[in-house]
Amino acid sequence: MTVDQMNQLSTSQDGGPEILPLGRDGWLVRFALTPEPWAMAAVQRLHALGRASVLPGVTRVAPSLTSVLFSYDPDGTDRSVLRAQIARLLEGEDWHHATPEPATRVWQVPVSFGGDHGPDLAEVAGMTGLSPEQVIREITQTPLRVLAIGFAPGQPYLGLLPEAFDLPRMTSLNPQVPQGAIALAVRQIVLFANASPTGWRQVARTAFRVFRPDSDTPLPLSASDEMRLVPVSGAEMDGLLASGDPSGGAKLELRS
């Protein structure tokens, strides 16, 4: 590792932010190497600033858990000028205490906890020192933001949960959770787009589909959306799943 690379690594660990090249058509602003809560808040703040700013040539502003990607048209964009514009966006902000903009889209999504729909609920309760009812209450009373979308088409990482849910992943993989599984680890929730193996603990399930390839809007969620999980009974969830309606009973509220 070169001295410059070591300096970059040190800067990132100390909180950055760094502006790093990503291929010939991207600049990546990285706040941290691990998903610290402050870094995830900073990402949401910069994502909102980037989308609201007029940055010539930029084709997409996409967040991950700890970084924001500015993709651009390399044939019609001055790379160095764009980097300077991104640097100006970063000026004057205390990124360690960044406050995300309020969500303009809020989803109310029915979910069923425990039983067949949440087989790991009791284990999560034991690990947090809460009762299953308290676990459900903590999760459903937390306004979850879409921090990033990835791993599978449309699949959101939602957070952050209270500190009691800073739980490690399982030591061995669950061979498969179903489409719509609500699983958690490290203060985050994943809503699974498809049946999948995972090391996260499944506490609930929803009929809300986050990937709809036959729809005019195949990816209904957007980064920075807010999601509220609304508890329903297992029988109600069985009915929602059987209906085949990809909305799964979810409602979208638009806020100014």
**Would you state the pLDDT for residue 7?**
37
**Would you state the pLDDT for residue 118?**
98
Using CA atoms, how far apart are residues 155 and 19, in angstroms rounded to an integer? 26
pTM above 0.85, yes or no: yes
Q: pLDDT 10s per residue in the chain (256 long)?
A: 232 333 343 344 445 799 999 999 999 999 999 999 999 999 999 999 999 999 999 999 999 999 999 999 999 999 999 999 999 999 989 999 999 999 999 999 999 999 999 999 999 999 999 999 999 999 999 999 999 999 999 999 999 999 999 999 999 999 999 999 999 999 999 999 999 999 999 999 999 999 999 999 999 999 999 999 999 999 999 999 999 999 999 999 999 8
Question: Own/partner pairs for 234-241, CB < 8 Å, 24+ apart?
Answer: 234/112, 234/114, 234/115, 234/116, 234/117, 236/110, 236/112, 237/110, 237/111, 237/112, 237/117, 237/205, 237/206, 237/207, 240/110, 240/206, 240/207, 241/180, 241/205, 241/207
**Would you state the pLDDT for residue 92?**
87
**Would you state the pLDDT for residue 245?**
97
Domain ranges of the chain: 3-97, 105-254
Among 221, 16, 28, smallest CA distance to 98 is for 16
Give the three-state DSSP class for 100.
coil
| CATH architecture of the domain with residue range 3-97 | 2-Layer Sandwich (3.30)
Q: Which CATH code, of 1.10.260.40, 3.90.650.10, 3.30.70.580, 2.40.100.10, is assigned to 105-254?
A: 2.40.100.10
